[in-house]
Structure formats: C-alpha cells, structure tokens
Amino acid sequence: MTPTTTQDINLQMGFLAKMAIVLLPIAILFSRSLAELAVVLVGVLFLVRSYRAKEWSWVKEPWFIAALVFTLYLTLVSAPFAAHPGIALPHSLFFIRWPIFAAALAYWLFASPELRRWFELTIAALVVFIVADSLLQYFTGADIFGKPPYSPIRLTGPFDRPVPGTYTLRIVFIALAVLYFSRYLKNDASRVISLLIALSIAATFMFLTGERVAFMSFLLGSGVVLLALIMTQKRGRIGIILGGAILGAAIAGVLATQPQMVERTIGSTVGTLQNFWNSSYGRLYDNALMLWKENPLTGIGMKNYRPVCKEVTQDPSIEGWFCAHPHNIYIEVLTEGGLIGLFLFTVMLGLILWNFLKAVPRQPMYASFAISVFLATFWPIMSTMSITNGWIAAIIWMGMGWALTVTRPGDNEAKT
C-alpha cells in the first residue's frame, strides 16, 4: 500500500475546502449548522495549510491584525466583566473564526481563478433562483415548492421566514459583478445594458419582498455601482444616465400599481423615520442604550443582550424579538463590547473598507461591487440582523472574502 505523501494530503485538504466553499451558499439555504460546519472546516484547513507551508503573511494584513486585537479585547477584557461571563467567553474567543474564514477565501481558495469562477457562478445561480422563486410567489400566491407568502406584504421565497431580501442583499452584488465581467458580453455597450436591466430586476424584487431595509440598502449599493459605471464609461455617460432614468421611471410606474407594497416599503418607512423614537425600532435602540449604560466601557458581554434584556424588563408582554438583539450592528457591539469594543470594531471595518477604496483608481468597477457588498451589511444607519448570528455572519464574511480578493492588485485590473 503506497504511503500517503505530503502532496496527497495537501490535495485532499484543498478538495475538502473547495467543496465546502462552493456548497456554502447552498448550505445556508437549508441548514445553519451546515453553514457553520463549512466555515469551521475551511478555517481549520487554512490554518493547517498555513502551518505546513509556513505561510503566515496573511496574518500581517492590517485588517486581520485589527480583528485579532478586537477578539483579544473581547476575550480578555470584556468577557471577564460581562453580566454572564460563561456566555460571553466562548462567543468572544470564537469571533475570530469569521475573519479567518474571510482570510482563507481571500488568500488561499480564491487565489485559484477556477475555484473563484465556480463560486461566483454558484452565487449567480442562487440569486437568479431566489429572485425567480420569490416573484413567482408574489404573482401566483405560491413559490415553486407550493409555499404561500408570509403575509400579503412579506415574501419568503424558498426560505421558511420572510428573509429573501436580507439573504440576497449580501450576495447580489457578487452576482452583478459576475454578469458585468461575463466573457459572453463582448463589448462595453452589452455590459452596461445588461447591468442596468439586472439592477432594475433586482430593485423590483427587493421592493416586492416587503423588506424595507433590504430595498433601501440595495438602492445605496446600486448608486455606488452606477457612479463607478459613469466614471469608467466616459463616452457613454449620457446614455447610461438616460437609460438608467428611463428604466427607473418604468419600474416606478409598474410598482405604483401595487399600492400595498408602496405603503409597506415607502409609506411605512417614511412614517417610521418621522416618529422614530416612538417606533418599535426607536424603543428597541433606546432599550439597548439603556443596557449599555450599565457598563459603558467594556459592555455587558458578547451574546449577553438577550438574557440581560429579559432580566431587566421582566415584562412577559414584550415580544420575543425585542430582547433578541439590538437590530443594529454598531449598537449591538456598543452594548455588548462597550465603547472600547466599538472603537476596535470600527477600526477593523475601516481597514477592510480601505482595501476597497485603494482599489478605486486601479479597478473602479470591481471596487464598486466590493464597496456595495460592504455597505450591504455595514452601512451604519439601518436595522440589521445580529453580527453574531451564525447564519448571517457566514454570508457576511463570505462576501468580505470575495471583496478582498477582487480588489487586490492583479489580473482583475485588465478587466476594468
């Protein structure tokens, strides 16, 4: 029997990691535990590979150093002073798995053009499926699996909850990048037209899901992409602006025929902003800030929001979502990690964003898609899911890994 060689082991490790990352977006659709397993598997294999190859240059990346400092702070400083240290300690320590996962993608797996291409095609196929399934549900009353909408103004698509917009928002700009840089689009005109049509379809989908934050965040990211498109297509700027305006007007006219969704997505958003602190989100943020004041420097501890909120309120009439998490990433980090934690967290995010901004002069279109992926989660003025939620965190850091890859100097520069 032939002994297993180092090369064989490396090939087996690479194959397992590649399967995990290609299947990760699909796994998230059906199982959070599978998503967590894929993240941990990729991270462990990446650490083993780095050890065997003595390749640790990725650890010296400024954003990753900031992630390490943030993790050490949560583990050694914040957790011991938490309301429930036993809950805070493991969640603080294992926060590092997400940055390691993003690094594994950016500095190992996606270094393979073939693997990155398969991953991107998987993402694009998933976006097409979710959009088509959700629109089918909206217009016929059932999706492809026969599931009805969550309510007349909230879709579920292929999910069990009304989150198709939330999920798709984190990956849609990757799919749009795949379309824009497709080898089948031979010239700038075909790329621009295809991108404008895709943006219009995606905006319609986001609007009809009834997810207000997803819709508004998508418009923000779309604005970044359109700005980059106008910057790069110097000869066709007027055409892009006119074409975008015509498509926008046409979509707005169609959507205006759906008064329930107009009220849900536009009317209720305006009403909430006009009377924000008396709204459910305003009361939620006020409650989170009240808990933060209990320990302003180091916070109440990672994953401590739910138990502390229930202990403080002791009101059985309060809905479960009220004590789930603060519904804003920065308020969540402030409440659970304190002022020091929020500062370190924003430094980490700032260094990640700086990678994308530095790429603007070299590769503006790839940079615009990367920035849009970043803003889809980290734009501060919006309601969000919890950053410690394994389901959403897997998607977020998967997107960061892709964005870090496409904005590094290299082959992409010739395409933009």
- 249, 331: one domain: no
Give the whole-angstrom CA distance, residue 215 versus residue 166.
Answer: 9
Which position has the token pair 């909206």?
138
| pLDDT average per 10 residues of sequence, the chain (416 residues) | 57 66 72 81 91 94 97 96 94 95 93 87 93 94 93 89 91 96 90 92 92 91 93 82 81 78 78 76 87 93 90 66 84 95 97 96 95 94 80 89 92 53
Greatest Cα pair distance in the chain: 74
Region of 410 (left: φ > 0; alpha: ψ -120 to 50; beta: rest) is left
89 and 156, same domain (yes or no): no
The total number of structural domains that make up the chain? 3
pLDDT at site 76: 96
**CB–CB of 326/332 below 8 Å?**
yes
- 201 Cβ neighbours under 8 A, 6+ residues apart: 131
> Same domain, yes or no, for 255 and 340?
no
Q: Do 103 and 21 touch, CB atoms closer than 8 A?
A: no
User: Both 252 and 283 in a single domain?
Assistant: no
The pLDDT value given to residue 201 = 93
In a domain, 112, yes or no: no
Asked if residue 373 belongs to a domain, the reply is yes
Q: Which residues of 37-66 are buried (b: 16+ CB within 10 A; e: fewer)?
A: ebbebbbbbbeebbeeeeeeebeebebbeb
Does residue 1 lie within any of the structural domains?
no
Do residue 172 and residue 257 come from a single domain? yes
Domain assignment present for 378: yes
7 inside domain: no
Residues 247 and 361 in one domain: no
Length of the chain (residues): 416
Among 255, 274, 293, give the residue marking a domain's end: 274
For residues 48 and 77, the answer to whether their CB atoms sit within 8 Å is no
Same domain assignment for residues 260 and 338: no
207 located within any domain: yes
| pLDDT at site 8 | 63
Task: For residues 305 and 255, state if they share a domain.
Answer: no
Closest CA to 211 of 146, 130, 330, 143: 130
- Pair of tokens at residue 404: 């870090």
- Same domain for 125 and 263? yes
Pair (29, 97) in one structural domain: no
Pick the last residue of a domain from 274, 303, 337. 274
Token digits of residue 308: 């502390």
Residue 211 within any structural domain of the chain: yes
User: What's the mean per-residue pLDDT of the chain?
Assistant: 87
Domain containing 51 equals 12-55
Q: For residue 114, tell me if it sits in a domain.
A: no
Are residues 241 and 282 located together in one domain of the fold?
Answer: no
Asked which of 274, 308, 330 is the last residue of a domain, the reply is 274
| 259 and 378 part of one domain | no
Helix (H, G, I), strand (E, B) or coil at 48: helix
